[in-house]
Structure 1
Amino acid sequence: MALPSSKISSYAQAPTMEYAGVRLEQLSLDHAQELAEIVSAGRLDEIWYTSIPSAQDMASDIKKRLALQESGAMAPFAIIDLSTGKAVGATTYLNIDEPNKRVEIGSTYLSSAVQGTGINPAAKFLLLQRAFEELDCYSVAFCTHWHNAASRAAIARLGAKQDGVLRNHKYDPATGTLRDTVIFSILPHEWPAVRTGLETRLARHGRI
Structure 2
Amino acid sequence: MDFLAIPPLRGALASIEPLTPEHAEELAAAVAEDELHKLWYTRLPSPDEVGAEIEKRLAGHAAGQVVPWTIRAADGRAVGMTTFLNIRPDHRRLEIGSTWIAASAQGTGVNTQVKLLQLTHAFETLHCIAVEFRTHWHNHRSRAAIAALGAKQDGVLRNHDLWRDGTMRDVVVFSIIDSEWPTVRLSLTEKLRTRS
Same fold flag (TM > 0.5)? yes
User: Do residues 69 (structure 1) and 46 (structure 2) align?
Assistant: no
AA matched with 1:160: A
User: Do residues 201 (structure 1) and 186 (structure 2) align?
Assistant: no
1:82 Cα deviation after fit: 2.8
3-state SS of 1:11 partner: coil
Q: Deviations over 1:109-161 (max 9, x none)?
A: 00101111111100000000000000000110000000011111111111111
In structure 2, what is the equivalent of residue 50 of structure 1? 42
User: Do residues 178 (structure 1) and 168 (structure 2) align?
Assistant: yes
Which consecutive residues of structure 1, in runs of 5 or more, have no partner in the other structure?
A: 1-8
3-state SS of 2:138 partner: coil
Distance in 2 separating the partners of 1:61 and 1:22: 22
Q: 2:180 aligns with which of 170, 190, 195?
A: 190
1:176 Cα deviation after fit: 1.7
1:184 Cα deviation after fit: 0.5
Distance in 1 separating the partners of 2:26 and 2:171: 30
AA matched with 2:17: E
In structure 2, what is the equivalent of residue 149 of structure 1? 140
How many pairs were matched up? 196
In structure 2, what is the equivalent of residue 95 of structure 1? 86
1:97 Cα deviation after fit: 1.1
In structure 2, what is the equivalent of residue 119 of structure 1? 110
In structure 1, what is the equivalent of residue 7 of structure 2? 15
Distance in 2 separating the partners of 1:97 and 1:156: 23
1:28-43 paired onto structure 2 within 5 Å: 28-43=20-35
In structure 2, what is the equivalent of residue 4 of structure 1? none
1:196 Cα deviation after fit: 1.0
Aligned-residue RMSD, C-alpha: 1.0
TM-score when normalising by structure 1: 0.92
**Superposition misfits of 4+ residues, deviation over 4 angstroms:** none
Distance in 1 separating the partners of 2:17 and 2:30: 18
3-state SS of 2:46 partner: coil
- How many percent of aligned residue pairs carry the same amino acid? 47
User: Do residues 164 (structure 1) and 155 (structure 2) align?
Assistant: yes
1:28 Cα deviation after fit: 0.6
Distance in 2 separating the partners of 1:28 and 1:86: 15
3-state SS of 2:7 partner: coil
Which consecutive residues of structure 2, in runs of 5 or more, have no partner in the other structure?
A: none
3-state SS of 1:163 partner: strand
1:39 Cα deviation after fit: 1.0
1:37 Cα deviation after fit: 0.5
In structure 2, what is the equivalent of residue 60 of structure 1? 52
